[in-house]
Structure 1
């Protein structure tokens, strides 16, 4: 049986475009996604880059209003930049307006980046060298070293304004525990009951997003929450995260057994040559991110300058794990990823320079997948 397919969107701004156009395109894609049979439409949170999804809760409300049935949610709220009560109240409002349709995704990327920038990330045991491999048709590349990017002064400057001065975010596990307590009405500050309104009693279940076998996978397992492994961002370690999640899973009232979703980056066209041409500027986009500039306006393949050999080396893990081709080719690779990970859902992200090509990419794979 084919597993459900969902969409993860960044509301990307294309070269020559603007945020308003990107947001209109996102609403348009969400409407089409509902008609094509996608199960969920999730929005990523990014800041100070050329994507327009900086405030998922605000955009989720717009998408829910523009559609009728499809689940809409965050992929994911970065808890390192906000508070548990802000998350519960904002998503509580969404649940009150669109009951049963809202997915609350949370991630610790903000906390992780602060640790790496400050040099306070805990040192684990020495890791053995990793080798590039392919398992059942799924590429598992060697990990990309993010340390140079985290030292970039431009990234440090941007991150410095995402919190109030001298603010200290709680540990990710504590924040997730606080969210769960606020949702079920058991939250306390000392001996004082604190009730989040709206939020308390909402039909919300957090989804934890993670990319390695570190804290996120273990927190999802500890609290019996669904786990989303980000193969499209960290293909070297995402499947390890799934294994850790399953090995440590503790059943909860809401989830008696592990629930795994895995993401993939895809570009689909009517033929392979067209798909490859549409995806030909993806490497330039990823390279800009890793060079510390963040996501630049998505380059036009017709005018993008080729990457040098040195630059190609920086992005090869991402270009090799992007699923590009005609519907049959991409469906085959998605099926292999699902079998290898044991995912019960897959979520795809697809970025192209032209909105029409992105629509076509999602339409083709939806039809081939049998949605």
Structure 2
């Protein structure tokens, strides 16, 4: 029996479009996802990206919840380094108060990448070799470290946090989130604080990670479900799920590990049509990996007219080759391979196209084939 399929949406802008257009397309796509029986619909948190409108997950999820009835909704992921535990609990507590029992609180690390990037650059390591594991491509690792230590990165970080603010580690902020949800929150002297709304909210907490580092370890040790990013960091996906399972301890939430794995997909009526629709993806990835932020998604015609340099192709090669593009049967077969190799209990798929109708059609074709 096939594992459940869920959707991750970045609310992408397209060339010539607006943020309002992108957000309205997200709400429309969520309605289709519910109709097509996708299990969850998650939205991302990205900042300073001209081509992505999903910057405030809780605000966007409230709009989606009002436009749907039953599909489970969540964040993929709230960036914990940019908010306090209280603001996170209040935001998602408000959502749960209005639409009870429908929300996943997906959390991701942020705020300490600059310090970690400096350490990564200092520790010179030989590049990891590309390999194929039981049919699944595991490419060479792409390092974000040079981008994280750039002057632009420092500027963006300064705008995302109050001066002198300290980013908490995952364990520390999770302790606070869980205490506020259970309520009341007390200090060593017995003073109390309550999150209203938030206290008692029916939220499922997930951790998301792109490696076998802190997120995977903390999720396992705390017995929380874990989402690993094949679509962002395909080189590290097996490391991430293995580290999570190795660290797992049963909890009141889970008696055994629960893993969701993401994938970039694009489905069309046949392989050739899908490859044509997929042409802009490389340009979009190149903009992300340049450190300037995702550009509005180009049209197919503009993408086909682009003259690629060898340096540009090398920058995006691993992401292009690990995107699952083709007919429904082709993509479903590759997703089954991803699920088998990672042992995923659920798959989280994300799709970007220039034309919204093509994106809706991609999810329709995949849902029909998967079922």
Q: Once structures 1 and 2 are overlaid, which stretch shifts more, 14-23 or 158-167? A: 158-167
RMSD: 1.6
Aligned in 2, Cα 1:218/1:186: closer, same or farther, shift over 3 Å?
farther
1:180 aligns with 2:178: yes
Residue 111 of structure 2 aligns to a residue whose secondary structure is helix
Q: Once structures 1 and 2 are overlaid, which stretch shifts more, 281-290 or 146-155? A: 146-155
Residue 78 of structure 1 corresponds to 79
Contact 1:155 1:293 in 2 (8 A): no
Q: What TM-score does the superposition give when structure 1 sets the normalisation length?
A: 0.95
Residue 63 of structure 1 corresponds to 64
For 2:202 and 2:152, locate their aligned partners in 1 and report how far apart those are by CA, in whole Å.
40
Residue 30 of structure 1 corresponds to 30
For 1:93 and 1:221, locate their aligned partners in 2 and report how far apart those are by CA, in whole Å.
28
Residue 278 of structure 2 corresponds to 279
Residue 145 of structure 1 corresponds to 143
Residue 368 of structure 1 corresponds to 369
Residue 347 of structure 1 aligns to a residue whose secondary structure is strand
Contact 1:208 1:228 in 2 (8 A): yes
Residue 45 of structure 2 corresponds to 45
1:213 aligns with 2:212: yes
Residue 234 of structure 2 aligns to a residue whose secondary structure is coil
Residue 171 of structure 1 corresponds to 169
Residue 353 of structure 2 aligns to a residue whose secondary structure is coil
Residue 136 of structure 1 corresponds to 134
Residue 180 of structure 2 aligns to a residue whose secondary structure is helix
Residue 359 of structure 2 corresponds to 358
Residue 160 of structure 2 aligns to a residue whose secondary structure is coil
Residue 111 of structure 1 aligns to a residue whose secondary structure is coil
Aligned in 2, Cα 1:66/1:244: closer, same or farther, shift over 3 Å?
same
Q: Once structures 1 and 2 are overlaid, which stretch shifts more, 177-186 or 93-102? A: 177-186
Contact 1:45 1:78 in 2 (8 A): yes
Deviations 1:148-173 (A, max 9, x none): 22233223222220111121121222
- Deviation, 1:139, is 0.6
Aligned in 2, Cα 1:18/1:331: closer, same or farther, shift over 3 Å?
same
How many residues are treated as equivalent by the alignment? Answer: 367
Alignment of 1:1-371 (within 5 A): 1-49=1-49, 50-108=51-109, 110-116=110-116, 119=118, 129-185=127-183, 187-191=185-189, 192-304=191-303, 305-370=306-371
Contact 1:41 1:70 in 2 (8 A): yes
Contact 1:112 1:121 in 2 (8 A): no
Structure 2 unaligned runs (5+)?
A: none
Deviations 1:178-231 (A, max 9, x none): 111111126333322222111111111210000101000011011110000011
For 1:340 and 1:183, locate their aligned partners in 2 and report how far apart those are by CA, in whole Å.
36
- Deviation, 1:123, is 7.7
Residue 212 of structure 1 aligns to a residue whose secondary structure is coil
Residue 68 of structure 1 aligns to a residue whose secondary structure is coil
